[in-house]
Chain A
Amino acid sequence: MSAPVRGPALGAPARDAGASGVAPVLPAARRTAPAPGRLLVRYGLFLLLAALALGFAVLRPSFASAGNVADMLRSGGISAVMLLGLTFIVAAGEIDVSFMSVAALSTMVVAGLVSSGAGWGLAAAAALGTGLLFGLANGGLVALLGLPALVTTIATGGFAGSVAAAIGKGTSIPLAGSGVLGTVVRAEVGPVPALAVAAAALYAAAWWLQDRTTFGHYVYAMEQNRRALVEAGVPATRLLFILYALSGTLSAGAGVLLAADLSSGQPYVGASYFIDGLTAVLLGGMALKMGKPNVIGTAVGILLLAVLLSGAALLGWTDWQRQIVRGALLIGGVAAVVWTRRSGRAVHESV
C-alpha cells in the first residue's frame, strides 16, 4: 500500500531539492520499462501485419504483385478516410455505428445527382453536406442532448440507409463514367495509388492533431475522466460535437471516393464496412497506445484487414472463414487489451 514517495534524486538528474524544478517532460510514450507482455500488445499488430503479408507473399507470389498491392492500398485508402472520425470518437469513449450508412448514402447522393446531369463537383459537395448534416445530428443528439450514443447512431444510421435506398428506389445507380474524381481515384504516384498517398497525408495531419495539439490530448482525457476536463474548463461537449461532425463529413468523403471508384451508387455498400471498420479501429487501438484507438493503429488495422481479405481470397478461403477469423481477431484483441490494462494498474476491486 505504501509506495515510497519518489524523490527527485531517483527521477531526474541531481538537483537542488525543491528549488529548481522537475525532470524534463517527455512525450507520453515514456513510462517505466514495459513488461514483455505489454510490448507484445503494443507492437504485436505490426508484427502480425508483417507476418501475414510475408506469409501470403510466400504462399501466393501474386499477392505481392504491383497490381494487387495497389488494389489493397486503394481500398485501404477509402476505408482510412471513412474511419478517421470513428477512431477519434471511440478514443473519446463514445461510439458511432452510422458511419458506414452515411458513406453508402453519400455514394447514392453522388450517383443520383450525376446521373441526373449535375457535375461531379456539385455532387461531391452535396454528398459532403449530407454527411455533415448527419454528423451534426449525431453530435446534437449525443453530445448536446446526452442521449446514449449506440442506439442513437443505430437510428440515424438506419435513417441514412433508408434514404440511400430511397434515392435509388431500392437498387444501385450505375454511372457511365466516373468523371474527374475517377481519374483522381485511379491516379498513381509511381507504383502507389494517389489515393493512398492522400490518405497517408491525411493521417499524418491527424497524427499531428492527435499527439501534438490540445485536441488529441482532450480526446484521450475525455475517455478517462470527462469531469476532470469539465472542471478544468475544457469545452468537452463541444469537442464531442466536433468529433461527430467530423466523422459524418469524412464518412461522406469516403462515400464520394467510393462512388468514383465503383462508378456507381451502392445503397447497401455500408454493411461490409461495419464490422471491418470497428475491428480496424478497436484492433488498431492495441497498437502503440495499449487499447486506445489512434490513427496509426487504425491505419495498421485497415492494412491488416486488406491483407487478410486479399490473401485469403488468393488462398481460396471462403467469405465466412474470413468473417470468423475477423470476429475472433476483434474479440481476442479486445480481451488482450482489457487484460493487459487491468493487470497494469492496481485496481482495488471487490470480489
Chain B
Amino acid sequence: MTSPFRPGPRLLRVLAFLVLLALVAGTFQLLVPGYLGAEHLHALLRHMAVQGLAALGLTFVIVVRQFDLSFPGVASLGAMTLGWLIAGEHDVSTAVAGSLAVGFACGLVNGVAVAGFRLPDIVATIATGGVAVGLSYLYSNGTSISDNFFGSGILDFNDARVAGLDMPAAVLLAAAAAAALLLHGTRFGRAFYATGENRVSARFSGVRVRLYVAAAFALSGTLACLATTLLVASSGASNVTVGNQLLMPAYAAVYLGAALFGRASVAATLAGTLLMSAMLDGFTLMAVPYYYSDAIVSLVLVGAIALFDPRTLAAAARLRIPAARPREVLP
C-alpha cells in the first residue's frame, strides 16, 4: 500500500520523466544556445505532431497486445489518396476525409485478418502494408503529386494557427485528448485494456475481444493517415515514400513511453514522443546527419524494450525493499 510519506509510483515515474526531459533539454541548450528558443520549440512541436499521431494509433494496437507493421504503407497510401483528391480539385475536407477513410479501411482489413481469420499479426500486416504501398502507386505511377496544393487550403494544416498553437500541434493535442478520453475515460478504453491484459478473462467478462482488436487496427490506420496529412501539408507534395519514416520512431515512442510509465497509455506515448523529438530535433539543430540520429533512435528503442520487459521490471522490483504484502498462496 502507498504510505502517506512515500510518493506513489505514478508520481515517481512522472518525476523521472521530467528529470530525463530536463537533462536532454539542458544538454542541448548548452550545446546549441537556440534550443529552448521559441522558434525551435515551434519546430519541435511540429515535428512531434507527425510522430505523435502515428505513435498514438500504434498505442491502441500495443494495448491489445498485437503488432502492426502496415501503418507506414497505409500512411503512404493515405497521402497519395489525399494528393490525388486535391489534384482532382476536391474540397480539402473531402480530401482529408478520403485519406482517413482509406486508413480506416486498411486498418479494418488488418483487424479482420487478425481478429476474424486469426492470421498471425506480423505476417498479415507486412502483407497488407506491402499491398498498400503497391496501391499507392496507382494514382500517379509513383511520381509525387503537388497539383493544386496551393489553392486548396491543405497547406493550412501546416501554416494556420489555432488558439495560439501551430496547426500541427493543435491537431496532435486534439487527437491526443480524444485518444486519452477514449482509452482512459470511457468503458471502451477499459475493454481495450481488458482485451490486451487477459483475452480469456475479458471474453468471460462480456468484452467482445475481436471487435476491440479490429478497432485497434482501424484506429492505427486512421491515425497514421492523419499523421501523413500533416507531413504532406508541410512538404507541399504527396509521394509514395512518406510513410517510410514513421515505423521506427512510432515503435520507439510507444515502447519508451511504456518503459517510463510502466505500461502503454496515451500519456506514456506522448511522453515518449516528446523525449524522442527533443533528442532528434536537438541533433537536427546541431546539424548532425539523420543517420546518426536514426542510430540513436534504434538504441533508445532497444533500451526501452529491455526496460519495458516484465522480467526487467520484476528484477527491478526485487531490488526494492519488500513491502509487507501477502505472498501468493499456491494451490
A interface list, Cβ under 8 A from B? 95, 141, 145-148, 150-152, 154-159, 161-166, 169-170, 275, 278-279, 282, 318-324, 326-328, 330-331, 334-335, 338
Say whether, besides A147-B306, A166-B291, A330-B126, A324 and B297 are in contact (CB < 8 Å).
no
Say whether, besides A150-B122, A275-B126, A338 and B131 are in contact (CB < 8 Å).
no
A154 to chain B: which residues have CB within 8 Å? 247-248, 251, 301
Cβ of B236 under 8 Å from chain A: no
Within the complex, which residue of B118, B123, B141, B292 is in contact with A166, where a contact is CB–CB below 8 Å?
Answer: B292
Judging by beta carbons under 8 Å apart, are B289 and A146 in contact? no
Alpha-carbon separation in the docked complex, A159 to B122 (Å): 21
1/0 per residue B281-317: CB within 8 Å of A?
Answer: 0000000011111110111011001100101000000
Judging by beta carbons under 8 Å apart, are B292 and A278 in contact? no
Of the A-B pairs whose beta carbons lie under 8 Å apart in the complex, a sample of 12, sorted by A's number, is: A145-B309, A155-B299, A157-B298, A278-B123, A318-B142, A323-B133, A327-B131, A327-B134, A328-B131, A330-B126, A331-B119, A338-B118
Alpha-carbon separation in the docked complex, A150 to B117 (Å): 21
Interface contact tally, CB-CB below 8 A: 134
A146 to chain B: which residues have CB within 8 Å? 309, 311
Say whether, besides A278-B123, A282-B123, A334-B119, A169 and B289 are in contact (CB < 8 Å).
yes
Judging by beta carbons under 8 Å apart, are B295 and A159 in contact? yes
Alpha-carbon separation in the docked complex, A275 to B134 (Å): 12
Judging by beta carbons under 8 Å apart, are B67 and A150 in contact? yes
Say whether, besides A147-B305, A152-B305, A162-B298, A323 and B117 are in contact (CB < 8 Å).
no
Alpha-carbon separation in the docked complex, A155 to B297 (Å): 8
CB distance from A322 to the nearest CB of B (A): 8
Judging by beta carbons under 8 Å apart, are A319 and B306 in contact? no
A275 to chain B: which residues have CB within 8 Å? 126, 130
Judging by beta carbons under 8 Å apart, are B119 and A335 in contact? yes
CB distance from B198 to the nearest CB of A (A): 15
CB distance from B183 to the nearest CB of A (A): 21
1/0 per residue B108-147: CB within 8 Å of A?
Answer: 0000010001111011101111110111111001100000
Cβ of B255 under 8 Å from chain A: yes
Say whether, besides A335-B117, A338-B117, A156 and B298 are in contact (CB < 8 Å).
yes
1/0 per residue B130-170: CB within 8 Å of A?
Answer: 11011111100110000000000000000000000000000
A145 to chain B: which residues have CB within 8 Å? 306, 309, 311
CB distance from A246 to the nearest CB of B (A): 21
Question: Can you name the residue of chain A whose Cβ is closest to the Cβ of B249?
Answer: A158
Judging by beta carbons under 8 Å apart, are A326 and B130 in contact? yes
Judging by beta carbons under 8 Å apart, are B298 and A318 in contact? no
CB distance from A256 to the nearest CB of B (A): 21
Alpha-carbon separation in the docked complex, A141 to B134 (Å): 34
Judging by beta carbons under 8 Å apart, are B290 and A170 in contact? yes
CB distance from B323 to the nearest CB of A (A): 27
Say whether, besides A151-B301, A163-B295, A331-B124, A324 and B309 are in contact (CB < 8 Å).
no
Judging by beta carbons under 8 Å apart, are B142 and A158 in contact? no
Judging by beta carbons under 8 Å apart, are A331 and B298 in contact? no
A278 to chain B: which residues have CB within 8 Å? 123, 126
Question: Can you name the residue of chain A whose Cβ is closest to the Cβ of B254?
Answer: A151
CB distance from B70 to the nearest CB of A (A): 10
Within the complex, which residue of B113, B255, B302, B311 is in contact with A331, where a contact is CB–CB below 8 Å?
Answer: B113
A323 to chain B: which residues have CB within 8 Å? 130-131, 133-134, 137
Say whether, besides A145-B306, A146-B309, A320-B138, A334 and B297 are in contact (CB < 8 Å).
no
Judging by beta carbons under 8 Å apart, are B294 and A162 in contact? yes
Alpha-carbon separation in the docked complex, A170 to B297 (Å): 17
B238-276, CB < 8 A from A: 247-248, 251-252, 255
